[in-house]
C-alpha cells in the first residue's frame, strides 16, 4: 500500500485523505446540462464529488509545459481549412435597419411683421441597405405650410467632388447642408446610438431641440379685452357735439433743402378729443388739391417706455401704450406744437376758440402773431464773361433760359429804316505795299446797325475780290466785353479810322445818299464829321449824280468798257427804262456788293423792258460779267445815265 501510494497522483491522494477525514453525506456529481429560455445548454462543473470546488486548471505545470512545446502539425498533419462563411448581401444584412436623427432648420420669413424666421423640426432617416437618406417633416394640422416628405429617399451629395453622405458623417450636435438648407442634428434614437457605438464612433452629447418662437407665442393664452364702463364719454359727446376749435398754424421747413413755409389749419374736436390737420391751398401753388394732411384721430403726447417701437403705421394706439394724450390746453396761440414729427407754430385762432379758452381756462389774451416774412432782395444775375463767339446779346440768351431765344429787335427801327444803306469807300491801312491800292466798300445797314465790307475785284491785281466781311455788328476797339459799344452812323465820316477785328480802314469817300442822310440828321454827327464832309464837297466841286458817286468799283483800266459805255449813251438817248433801274438792282442786292446773279439780272431787265437782244447791250453784259453767274450792275447802269 505504501508503494502504491508513493506512485499515486498527488491530487487524488489529497482527495482521498480529505474524504476519509471528513463527515460528508452528498457524493453526487455536479449537473453539466441545463435549460435557459427553453434551450438546452452545456455548462462546465465548478465543484466535484462531495461539493469540493474544482481547481480551474486540472493539469500540472509539467503537463502544461509539455503541451506548449508540442506541434500539432507534426503529430496530426496539416489541418484542413475551414469552409468559408456564407455570403450575405448588404440588402439582406441591413434590411429594415434605418438610422433616425432628430434635426431642425431655420427658414426666413421676409413678408411677415409677426415673425422674422421660422424653426421647422424634421426627421432625417439613413437607410443602411443602400446608403440613401430622406428628410421628413412631421405634419402639423392647420399649419398652412407644405409639410411631409421634404426630400425623398435618395443618395445625397456631400460636396462638389461627387462624394455622398455616409453614416460615418452623421453625429449629434453637427450641421449638415442638403440642397442649400442647413440642418442641425440634435438627437438620435436608441438603435442609432447602439449601432454607431458598435462601429467605434463616439457620439456627441445630445442637444435641446429648438422651438419656433411664433408657435410658442400662439400657445400663450389669448388676451382678454375688458371694455371699461365710462359714461363721461357720452356726456362729453352730447355736450360738445359740433363744437370744434380752429387754429391757424405754419410749418417752417426752410432750414432743409428745398424746404418752404406752408400754412395749415388744425381742428380740435371737443366731442372726442380728436385732431385733424388741413392744408391751405393757394391758387397756382402747383400742389395736388388733397384736403387733409392728417386724418381725424387722437394724438398721443407721451408714450409708454416700452411702446416707443410700437408700429403706429399699421396698428392703432390704445390707452395701454399712451401715458398722456393731447388735449385742448396743449393748443396755445404763440407756442409751437409737435405732431407726428412736424413742429407747427400756432399763430392765430377763430373767435369761438378765443371765447372757449376764456371760459374754460381763463385765458383772455390770445393775440395774433405776425408770421409774415419779408421777401429777400432779388439776387442779381451776373452773366459769365464773354467767350468771343457770336454777338454778346446772343450769348447772353443762354443764361436767361434753358432753351435760348433770339434777342428782341427794335421792330419800329427796322420798319422805318428798311432798305436804307449808307455806303462808304475805304482804304486799308497796312504796311504791306500790295494793300495800299486796295479799295473796300463799307455798307452800313440802318435797320440792324450791321456792317458788311465788299472788295471790288481788280483785274490782274492778284487779289481775289468779293465779300470781305458778312453782315455783323462791329465792336469799337476800346469798349469792354461786358458792355460792348458798336459802331454807329456818327462814326463814319471822311477821314475816320474804322478798326474791324484788328484791321484799320480809312474812309475816303461816300455816296450821295450819305450826304443827304447827314444833312437831314445833322444832330447825330459831331462838328468834326460835318466839317470833313463840307471840305470833301468843296474839294470835289458840286455834288454829282448818284450814279457817278457809285463809281467806286469801276475798273478804269478797261478802255473797251468805257468806250462801249460812251457809245451806248450816245445811241440810246431816250430810253424809258432808265428810271428806277438802280433801285431795282439795289433791292435785289441785299449785301450791297454791287453784283447780282444772271438769272435775277435778266428778270429785272425784262421787267424794265431793256432791249437785251441789242448787240451793244449784249457786249455790255459780257464786259460787266464777273465769273460765270454774276454781273456788275454798277457798270451796266452807268451806260444808261445821262
Phi, psi dihedrals of residue 458, rounded to the nearest 5°? -115, 125
Q: How would you list the strands of the sheet with 342-349, edge to edge? A: 292-297, 274-279, 261-269, 244-252, 342-349, 336-339
pLDDT of residue 243: 93
What residues contact residue 611 under an 8 Å CB cut-off, 6+ apart?
Answer: 617
Question: Which class would CATH give 233-308+315-361?
Answer: mainly beta
pLDDT of residue 576: 56
- Rounded Cα–Cα distance for residues 514 and 493 (Å): 9
Provide the H-helix boundaries in 350-449: 351-360, 392-396, 411-416
- Rounded Cα–Cα distance for residues 54 and 45 (Å): 8
CATH of 90-216, one of 3.60.110.10, 2.30.29.170, 2.40.50.100, 3.40.50.300: 2.30.29.170
Whether residue 13 is predicted with pLDDT greater than 60 in this model: the reply is no
Provide the percentage of residues in the chain whose pLDDT is more than 90.
27
CA 589 to chain centre: 57
> Residue 97 is placed in which grid cell?
435597419
Each domain of the chain, given as residue ranges in start order, spans 90-216, 233-308+315-361, 401-541, 556-639
pLDDT of residue 58: 65
Considering only residues 381 and 18, tell me which one the structure prediction assigns the higher pLDDT.
381
pLDDT of residue 278: 94
Same fold, 233-308+315-361 and 401-541: yes
What residues contact residue 362 under an 8 Å CB cut-off, 6+ apart?
Answer: none
Structure confidence by residue, pLDDT tens digits, 120-134: 999 999 999 999 999
- Rounded Cα–Cα distance for residues 146 and 156 (Å): 22
> Residue 117 is placed in which grid cell?
424666421
- Rounded Cα–Cα distance for residues 280 and 444 (Å): 60
Range in 96-100, 240-244, 606-610 with the lowest mean pLDDT: 606-610
What residues contact residue 439 under an 8 Å CB cut-off, 6+ apart?
Answer: 425, 426, 427, 455, 456, 508, 552, 553
Q: Which of 190-199, 290-299, 369-378, 622-631 has the highest mean pLDDT?
A: 190-199
pLDDT of residue 571: 67
CA 446 to chain centre: 54
Domain spanning 401-541 has what CATH number?
2.30.29.170
Q: Is 363 buried (19+), middle (13-18) or exposed (0-12) by CB count in 10 A?
A: middle
556-639 carries CATH number 1.10.3470: no
Coil, helix or strand for 300? Answer: strand
Q: What is the mean pLDDT of the chain?
A: 82
Phi, psi dihedrals of residue 76, rounded to the nearest 5°? -105, -10
Amino acid at each position: 500500500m505504501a508503494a502504491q501510494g508513493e506512485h499515486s497522483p498527488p491530487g487524488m491522494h489529497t482527495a482521498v485523505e480529505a474524504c476519509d477525514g471528513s463527515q460528508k453525506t452528498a457524493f453526487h456529481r455536479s449537473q453539466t446540462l441545463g435549460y435557459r429560455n427553453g434551450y438546452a445548454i452545456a455548462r462546465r462543473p465548478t465543484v466535484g464529488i462531495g461539493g469540493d470546488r474544482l481547481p480551474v486548471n486540472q493539469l500540472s505545470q509539467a503537463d502544461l509545459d509539455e503541451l506548449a512545446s508540442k506541434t500539432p502539425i507534426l503529430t496530426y498533419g496539416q489541418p484542413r481549412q475551414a469552409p468559408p462563411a456564407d455570403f450575405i448581401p448588404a440588402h439582406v444584412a441591413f434590411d429594415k435597419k434605418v438610422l433616425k436623427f432628430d434635426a431642425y432648420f431655420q427658414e426666413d420669413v421676409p413678408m411677415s411683421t409677426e415673425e422674422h424666421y421660422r424653426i421647422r423640426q424634421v426627421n432625417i432617416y439613413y437607410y443602411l441597405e443602400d446608403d440613401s437618406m430622406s428628410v421628413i417633416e412631421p405634419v402639423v394640422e392647420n399649419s398652412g405650410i407644405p409639410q411631409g416628405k421634404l426630400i425623398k429617399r435618395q443618395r445625397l451629395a456631400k460636396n462638389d467632388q461627387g462624394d455622398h453622405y455616409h453614416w460615418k458623417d452623421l453625429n449629434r450636435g453637427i450641421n449638415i447642408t442638403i440642397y442649400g438648407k442647413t440642418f442641425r442634428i440634435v438627437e438620435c434614437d436608441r438603435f442609432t446610438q447602439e449601432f454607431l457605438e458598435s462601429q467605434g464612433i463616439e457620439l456627441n452629447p445630445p442637444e435641446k431641440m429648438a422651438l419656433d418662437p411664433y408657435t410658442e407665442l400662439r400657445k400663450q393664452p389669448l388676451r382678454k379685452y375688458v371694455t371699461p364702463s365710462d359714461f363721461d364719454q357720452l356726456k362729453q359727446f352730447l355736450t360738445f357735439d359740433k363744437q370744434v376749435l380752429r387754429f391757424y398754424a405754419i410749418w417752417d421747413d426752410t432750414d432743409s433743402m428745398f424746404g418752404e413755409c406752408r400754412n395749415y389749419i388744425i381742428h380740435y374736436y371737443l366731442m372726442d378729443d380728436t385732431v385733424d390737420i388741413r392744408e391751405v391751398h393757394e391758387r397756382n401753388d402747383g400742389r395736388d388739391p388733397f384736403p387733409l394732411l392728417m386724418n381725424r384721430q387722437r394724438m398721443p403726447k407721451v408714450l409708454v417706455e416700452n411702446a416707443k417701437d410700437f408700429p403706429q403705421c399699421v396698428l392703432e394706439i390704445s390707452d395701454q401704450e399712451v401715458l398722456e394724450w393731447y388735449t385742448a390746453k396743449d393748443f396755445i396761440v404763440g407756442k409751437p406744437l409737435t405732431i407726428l414729427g412736424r413742429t407747427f407754430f400756432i399763430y392765430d385762432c377763430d373767435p369761438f376758440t378765443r371765447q372757449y379758452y376764456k371760459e374754460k381756462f381763463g385765458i383772455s389774451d390770445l393775440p395774433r402773431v405776425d408770421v409774415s416774412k419779408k421777401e429777400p432782395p432779388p439776387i442779381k444775375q451776373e452773366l459769365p464773361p464773354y467767350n468771343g463767339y457770336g454777338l454778346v446779346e446772343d450769348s447772353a440768351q443762354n443764361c436767361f433760359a434753358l432753351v435760348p431765344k433770339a434777342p428782341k429787335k427794335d421792330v419800329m427801327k427796322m420798319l422805318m429804316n428798311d432798305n436804307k444803306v449808307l455806303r462808304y469807300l475805304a482804304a486799308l491801312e497796312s504796311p504791306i505795299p500790295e494793300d495800299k491800292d486796295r479799295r473796300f466798300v463799307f455798307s452800313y445797314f440802318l435797320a440792324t446797325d450791321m456792317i458788311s465790307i465788299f472788295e471790288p475785284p481788280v483785274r490782274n491785281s492778284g487779289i481775289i475780290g468779293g465779300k470781305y466781311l458778312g453782315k455783323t455788328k462791329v465792336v469799337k476797339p476800346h469798349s469792354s466785353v461786358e458792355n460792348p459799344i458798336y459802331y454807329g452812323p456818327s462814326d463814319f465820316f471822311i477821314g475816320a479810322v474804322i478798326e474791324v477785328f484788328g484791321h484799320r480802314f480809312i474812309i475816303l469817300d461816300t455816296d450821295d445818299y450819305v450826304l443827304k442822310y447827314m444833312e437831314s440828321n445833322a444832330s447825330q454827327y459831331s462838328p468834326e464829321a460835318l466839317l470833313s464832309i463840307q471840305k470833301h464837297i468843296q474839294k470835289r466841286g458840286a455834288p454829282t449824280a448818284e450814279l457817278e458817286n457809285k463809281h467806286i468799283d469801276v475798273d478804269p483800266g478797261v478802255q473797251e468798257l468805257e468806250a462801249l459805255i460812251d457809245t451806248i449813251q450816245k445811241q440810246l438817248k431816250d430810253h424809258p427804262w432808265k428810271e428806277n433801274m438802280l433801285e431795282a438792282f439795289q433791292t435785289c442786292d441785299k449785301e450791297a456788293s454791287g453784283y447780282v446773279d444772271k438769272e435775277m439780272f435778266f428778270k429785272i431787265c425784262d421787267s424794265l423792258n431793256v432791249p437785251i437782244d441789242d448787240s451793244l447791250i449784249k457786249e455790255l453784259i459780257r464786259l460787266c460779267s464777273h465769273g460765270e453767274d454774276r454781273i456788275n450792275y454798277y457798270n451796266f447802269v452807268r451806260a444808261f445815265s445821262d
